[in-house]
Amino acid sequence: MFFILGIDAATWNVIRPNLNKLPNFEKLIRVGKSKELVLKEKPISPSVWCGMFCGKMPWEHKHESYVVDGNIARREDIKVDFIWDILHKEGKEVKALNVPFIVPPYSFGVDFKPVGFGMPTNEKEWQEELERITEKTKELLAENPDLLISVYTLLDRIQHFHWGETCVLEWYQKLDAKIGELLFDTRFLEDKSNKLIVISDHGFCSFGEAKMPTLPEQTEKGKIKGDHHENAFLITVNVDYQINRPQDVFYAIRKQLS
Ligand SMILES: [Zn+2]
């Protein structure tokens, strides 16, 4: 099985200095290959997730925003074939859960209602997303499809509103525990034919440091403290394809499952 675990907005800036508090990330770094992906494209979630799973650059897939001309962009508005479309046509078993290139996030071959329309905004919703994505992903792992893609979105929201606060690390620790359940408790990595990519769509930094703010500083949900950074997070296990940009995830899967 090829498993892509997406963590929207996960950043080495939080993970690297706190590895003593993130035992499962630490273990994953030991068994896999780690890398900081430096995006050459704009670090915006819908565009990066879209490119990661259709293999196209932003000027080719032309999908930049969740809302276009006042309307929520839909899957059908994006004129590309995603990896799940291609592999499904070829008879492969593919499951995709909560992929946030649109809102609410997109699922393929899975019945899932995203938490908070895919924009979880408070502690209760963040916890709910952690738990529901973890449980669903465990079910899907047990089905052993050819390809499983699963994405957590909560860190993006948490870091926009709480960057610089201690609660950010606490949420990484909660996520770390879930990663332990998914990757180590299930013994997924003990099967050497299994392949894993853990990846974020962009990193994070303080609001003032961001080269290109993705939100206004003041929003109806509160003041924005953090914003997207072009350095994204990547760990691979048993993947021999070189991943230098999000689009390479598409090609790594394609090479393995053709
Ligand atoms: Zn994002």
For the stretch 186-218, pLDDT in tens is: 999 999 999 999 999 999 999 988 887 788 888
- 23: helix, strand or coil: helix
What's the DSSP call for residue 188? G
Distance 229 CA to ligand 1 centre (A): 10
Give the Å distance between the CA of 6 and the centre of ligand 1: 10
Between CA 200 and CA 12 the distance in angstroms is: 10
Residue 156 Cα to ligand 1 midpoint, Å, equals: 6
CA of 249 to the centre of ligand 1 (A): 16
CATH superfamily of 2-256: Alkaline Phosphatase, subunit A (3.40.720.10)
Summarize pLDDT for 34-89 with one digit per residue, the tens: 999 999 999 999 999 999 999 999 999 999 999 999 999 999 999 999 999 999 99
How far is C-alpha 234 from the chain's CA centre? 10
Give the distance (Å) from ligand 1 centre to CA of residue 21. 23
On the question of pLDDT at 127 being above 90, the answer is yes
| Per-residue pLDDT tens over the stretch 216-256 | 888 888 888 999 999 999 999 999 999 999 999 999 999 99
Centre of ligand 1 from the C-alpha of residue 227, in Å: 10
The pLDDT of residue 141: 98
Ligand 1 center from residue 9 Cα (angstroms) = 5
Ligand 1 geometric centre to CA of 192 (Å): 30
- What is the predicted pLDDT for the residue at 219? 85
CA of 228 to the centre of ligand 1 (A): 7
Helix, strand, coil percent content, the chain, rounded in steps of 5: 45, 20, 35
Spell out the domain ranges in the chain. Answer: 2-256
pLDDT tens track for 165-188: 999 999 999 999 999 999 999 999
Distance, CA 191 to ligand 1 centroid (Å)? 30
Beta-carbon contacts of 99 under 8 Å, excluding residues fewer than 6 positions away, are 6, 49, 53, 105, 106, 107, 108, 149, 151
Buried b (16+ CB within 10 A) or exposed e, 176-190: bebbbebbbeeebbe
How close is the Cα of 56 to the center of ligand 1, in Å?
A: 18
Of 149 and 210, the structure prediction assigns the larger pLDDT to 149
Ligand 1 centroid to 46 CA: how many Å? 7
Residue 118, pLDDT score:
84
Share of the chain above pLDDT 70, in %: 100
pTM confidence score: 0.96
How far does residue 164's CA lie from ligand 1's centre (Å)? 18
125, containing H or E segment: helix 123-143
Query: Residue 156 is encoded by which pair of tokens?
Result: 């993006």
Give first-to-last CA distance, the chain, whole Å: 13
